[in-house]
Homo-oligomer: A and B are copies of this chain.
Amino acid sequence: MATKNITVVGAGLVGSLLSIYLAKKGHIVNVYERRPDMRSAAIPAGRSINLALSDRGWRGLEGAGIGDAIRAIAIPMSGRMMHGVDGTLNYQPYGKEGQAINSVSRRILNMTLMDCAEQYPNITLHFNHRATDCDIDAPWVAFENTHTGEQSRVESDIIIGSDGAFSAIRERMQKTDRYNFSQDYLEHAYKELTIPPADDGGFRMEKNALHIWARKSFMMIALPNTDGSFTCTLFFPYKGEVSFEQLRTEDDVRVFFNEYFPDAVPMMPTLIEDFFGNPTSSLVTMRAFPWVYGNTAALIGDAAHAIVPFYGQGMNCGFEDCVVMSDCIDASGGDWTAAFANYERNRKPNGDAIAQLALDNFIEMRDKVADPDFLLRKKIEAKLHAEYPRSFTPLYTLVTFSPDVPYSEALRRGRENDTLMDAILAIPGVHDRWDDEDVRSAVQSFVQ
């Protein structure tokens, strides 16, 4: 297969990983990143401090040979720990024994990917390069050096836009004829807060769980970090009766947190500084089509499908994009038009599906997880999965622990599960009499 000169725009998680996949095939890869090198500069690593890595993401990392390096710094979270307003805790496993999602530092993960990329002689990372324009026909990308102000125009055979939700490459593609595009913002914003380590350096709450304070119209979550701290994220409306716009003074914030998160407040000594010091950030779903342009340009990761974070799948989906893109290139025998077309055909429906699943899961996380009926439903789903593993798999397991099941199939099967669960829960006394003969045979008739 002919060696190509490839310009990758964006050295975030997905751009860095993809460059490794491309370099392994022998291509010459130049990666341009708007920000300074986060390995030498004390800059924020991007949108969120930690991420939930799950099976699709692992598959992507394994392909680049850095699974073990990341495993060493990942904290498994085997379930949700729900915090009631009265401080009661309720634990719900995400899957079977041994299944877990993993809290990983975005910064360390990105730095590891960059280090790995730089070990390839045919990858060059260029920092402080902001894409200002591009021509996807030529193709070339124009950059401005954000330090020197110098302008340059980089010609190559192929442009990959891995430059995130507000992708400059996608913006150029949006100007082509009949381009489909949408951006939909949630009415909720997010703000990161901190629970520092205990005085002895240990964790102040259960380490191996994702903590959720579900409060119907809003929620806070917390993920563990290796230093014993937790990063909390408050997902909260911009406007309205209970909203960011109402929390103006330090007292407003204290009263609000004491009312809704009383068990968390004593663990958050820097609450007020964090609340007023950290940004209030928006949450957007972006859909675009097409993702590719002939044999010269392709979008990947958030540039193609920015999603809300509620399924913890943004990065995992982006890494899966890299695996599929790599497979499509291998299968195409050097025909990049075919490779890109197959990549798009495979991934677009799955990008749409995970976007929808992520929106749905916000409702589930903030509202339903606090509902006893919902917890019961989850317990029955787990039982069904244990007894009928071929016929019934819970949606969460399909999305998170089943990398061979495409997101679009997970979405479809999740809807079928709902219909099935409605029928099973309508059996009188199903939860108390699970093992009675009549209930067992009724359940069996639905599942099989």
List residues of A (68-124) whose CB comes within 8 Å of B's CBs.
Answer: none
Asked if residues B183 and A282 are in contact (CB atoms below 8 Å), the reply is no
A180 at the interface (CB under 8 A from B): yes
What residues of B have a CB within 8 angstroms of the CB of A183 in the complex?
179-182
Q: Among B184, B282, B284, point to the contact of A182 (Cβ < 8 A).
A: B184
Q: Given the complex of chains A and B, what is the CA–CA distance between A184 and B184 in angstroms?
A: 14
A185 at the interface (CB under 8 A from B): yes
A178 at the interface (CB under 8 A from B): yes
Q: Given the complex of chains A and B, what is the CA–CA distance between A177 and B178 in angstroms?
A: 25
What residues of B have a CB within 8 angstroms of the CB of A177 in the complex?
282
Shortest Cβ gap from A302 to chain B (Å): 17
What residues of B have a CB within 8 angstroms of the CB of A282 in the complex?
177-178
What residues of B have a CB within 8 angstroms of the CB of A181 in the complex?
181-183
Query: What is the chain B residue whose CB lies nearest that of A283?
Result: B178
Q: Given the complex of chains A and B, what is the CA–CA distance between A182 and B287 in angstroms?
A: 9
What residues of B have a CB within 8 angstroms of the CB of A178 in the complex?
185, 282, 284
Asked if residues A182 and B182 are in contact (CB atoms below 8 Å), the reply is yes
Q: Given the complex of chains A and B, what is the CA–CA distance between A263 and B181 in angstroms?
A: 40
Interface residue count on the A side (C-beta < 8 Å): 12
Query: What is the chain B residue whose CB lies nearest that of A180?
Result: B184
List residues of A (31-64) whose CB comes within 8 Å of B's CBs.
Answer: none
What residues of B have a CB within 8 angstroms of the CB of A180 in the complex?
183-185
What residues of B have a CB within 8 angstroms of the CB of A284 in the complex?
178
Q: Given the complex of chains A and B, what is the CA–CA distance between A180 and B177 in angstroms?
A: 21
Shortest Cβ gap from A244 to chain B (Å): 13
Main secondary structure of the interface of A (DSSP, over half): strand
Q: Given the complex of chains A and B, what is the CA–CA distance between A183 and B175 in angstroms?
A: 12
**Which residue, of A177, A178, A184, A282, has the highest number of chain B Cβ atoms within 10 A?**
A178
Query: What is the chain B residue whose CB lies nearest that of A186?
Result: B178
Shortest Cβ gap from A390 to chain B (Å): 33
Query: What is the chain B residue whose CB lies nearest that of A174?
Result: B183
Shortest Cβ gap from A181 to chain B (Å): 6
Q: Given the complex of chains A and B, what is the CA–CA distance between A292 and B31 in angstroms?
A: 41
Q: Given the complex of chains A and B, what is the CA–CA distance between A181 and B184 in angstroms?
A: 7
Q: Given the complex of chains A and B, what is the CA–CA distance between A284 and B181 in angstroms?
A: 11
Shortest Cβ gap from A189 to chain B (Å): 9
Q: Given the complex of chains A and B, what is the CA–CA distance between A282 and B176 in angstroms?
A: 13
What residues of B have a CB within 8 angstroms of the CB of A179 in the complex?
183, 185
Query: What is the chain B residue whose CB lies nearest that of A287?
Result: B182
Query: What is the chain B residue whose CB lies nearest that of A184?
Result: B180
Query: What is the chain B residue whose CB lies nearest that of A177?
Result: B282
Shortest Cβ gap from A188 to chain B (Å): 11
Q: Given the complex of chains A and B, what is the CA–CA distance between A226 and B184 in angstroms?
A: 45
What residues of B have a CB within 8 angstroms of the CB of A184 in the complex?
180, 182
Query: What is the chain B residue whose CB lies nearest that of A185?
Result: B178
Shortest Cβ gap from A311 to chain B (Å): 21
Q: Given the complex of chains A and B, what is the CA–CA distance between A182 and B177 in angstroms?
A: 15
Q: Given the complex of chains A and B, what is the CA–CA distance between A185 and B177 in angstroms?
A: 10
Q: Given the complex of chains A and B, what is the CA–CA distance between A445 and B164 in angstroms?
A: 56
Shortest Cβ gap from A352 to chain B (Å): 12
Q: Given the complex of chains A and B, what is the CA–CA distance between A282 and B182 in angstroms?
A: 18
Shortest Cβ gap from A176 to chain B (Å): 11
What residues of B have a CB within 8 angstroms of the CB of A182 in the complex?
181-184, 287
Shortest Cβ gap from A417 to chain B (Å): 23
Shortest Cβ gap from A319 to chain B (Å): 27
Query: What is the chain B residue whose CB lies nearest that of A183?
Result: B181
Shortest Cβ gap from A293 to chain B (Å): 16
The 0/1 profile, CB within 8 Å of B marked 1, for residues 145-183 of chain A is 000000000000000000000000000000001111111
* Sample (16) of A-B pairs whose CB atoms are under 8 Å apart: A177-B282, A178-B185, A178-B282, A178-B284, A179-B183, A179-B185, A180-B183, A180-B184, A180-B185, A181-B181, A181-B182, A181-B183, A182-B182, A182-B183, A182-B184, A182-B287
The 4 closest A-B pairs by CB, nearest first: A182-B182, A178-B185, A180-B184, A178-B282
Q: Which residues of A contact B (CB under 8 A)?
A: 177-185, 282, 284, 287
User: What would 14 more interface pairs be, CB under 8 Å, given A181-B181, A182-B287?
Assistant: A177-B282, A178-B185, A178-B282, A178-B284, A179-B183, A179-B185, A180-B183, A180-B184, A180-B185, A181-B182, A181-B183, A182-B182, A182-B183, A182-B184
